[in-house]
Amino acid sequence: MLRTLLLILFALPAVAQQKEVTGIRAVYDSNAVAELYSTTPIGLVVTYADGSERKTAGLLKGDLRWSQVIVETPFGECSNGVLRFNRNQVRPDNYRMRLLVKFREQPSKQHEVMLQLPYLTGIRFHHYADSLKRGIHFYLNVEGIYNSGKIYPLDTTRIRFSANAGKLIGQDLLLPVTDSSTRSISVNAVYRGDRQMTAVTEIPVKQAPEDESMIIKNEKDLFSKPKKKRN
């Protein structure tokens, strides 16, 4: 009888600590570049019936240890506050990721939490030069614009290119020096994850010959004085 009474007394504080959870909000680390990579630290803000809140340790520096929390998802895995997700699986729902959260003190109760990850809203060309020179590689710089407000360069793993002239070599466009008729080249970029997301640019081809007067051809040119122009 005494043993039973002691067990009840020790259990009372634990029961009192099991406050009713009324809401959970999930956030991701905005510095983890989740726009491009499929791994990011996350944090949980737990709201209780009495109006109090607790935050998870790690990203949010709260007092709720990740060892007390179980997070599962059909689109990846979460371990010790680090989420690894499958980008292709979350893309159809516009990168809204479903998390199933349980607490070890109440393992029978599961909470469904939606985490909004950053997603691409558009792509654009941003050239480093205003014209293409024959025989010289022209880098096709494409930027991705995200709902997070961030802009990142995209490569050929995410962008597919096509052009009406010249030769595409990876992310470079090359027009042979023997081509003297092309005046401009139209380039189309398509986002591999969504064919409706495209960008088009018209790149002019430089027509005037290069000024080679200042080019050093040998060591003598380096020390020779420039010739005076005749009046």
Q: 69 near 80, Cβ under 8 Å?
A: no
Condensed to tens digits (0 to 9), the pLDDT of residues 212-226 reads: 555 555 666 656 665
Instruction: Give the residue from 44, 22, 200 showing the smallest Cα distance to 114.
Output: 44
In the chain, the percentage of residues whose pLDDT exceeds 90 is 75
Q: Is the pTM of this model over 0.85?
A: no
Condensed to tens digits (0 to 9), the pLDDT of residues 83-121 reads: 999 988 998 899 999 999 999 988 889 999 999 999 999
Kindly list the domain boundaries of the chain, sorted by start residue: 18-116, 120-204
Beta strands in 86-125 (DSSP E): 96-103, 106-116, 120-125
Q: 138 near 203, Cβ under 8 Å?
A: yes
Instruction: Give the residue from 73, 5, 2 showing the smallest Cα distance to 40.
Output: 73
Residue 187, pLDDT score? 98
Q: Is the pLDDT of residue 18 over 90?
A: no
Residue 188, pLDDT score? 98
* Cα–Cα–Cα angle for 89, 90, 94, rounded to 5 degrees: 140
The CATH number of the structural domain formed by 120-204 is 2.60.40
For 15-19, what is the mean pLDDT? 57
Among 5-9, 125-129, 152-156, whose mean pLDDT is lowest? 5-9
Q: 109 near 117, Cβ under 8 Å?
A: no
Compute φ and ψ for 164, nearest 5 degrees. Answer: -90, 0
Q: Please tell me whether residue 128 adopts helix, strand or coil conformation.
A: coil
